[in-house]
Amino acid sequence: MHEDKPVALVRAHGTAPIFDVDNMLRVEDHDPNVWPSTVEADVQRIRDHIKVTWDNRESGETFMKILSRQTP
């Protein structure tokens, strides 16, 4: 089912919370400015976030399950 697919949430620093799930799921914040001196570390951090999201796909609530539960 599509509701069981993992979603890796990434947002730019200073962006408002993501819908109603911001406090329920791990969200990776990143600096929207891409600097040559930090891009390698930035990519690795986001890659790690995606890997952790995938590795934990069976262990909890997914983005779509939370959204569908909150929809009237």
Question: Domain boundaries in the chain?
Answer: 2-70
Q: Which residue has the higher pLDDT, 17 or 47?
A: 47
pLDDT band at 11, cuts 50/70/90?
Answer: confident
Residue 42 pLDDT greater than 80, yes or no: yes
pLDDT band at 15, cuts 50/70/90?
Answer: confident
DSSP 71: -
pLDDT at residue 64, rounded to an integer: 65
* Largest Cα–Cα separation, the chain: 47
Find the DSSP H helices in the chain: 39-55, 63-70
Mean pLDDT for all residues in the chain: 78
Query: Taking Cα atoms as reference points, which of 15, 49, 11 lies closest to residue 30?
Result: 11
Residue 11 and residue 28: Cα distance in Å, rounded?
6
Residue 51 and residue 66: Cα distance in Å, rounded?
21
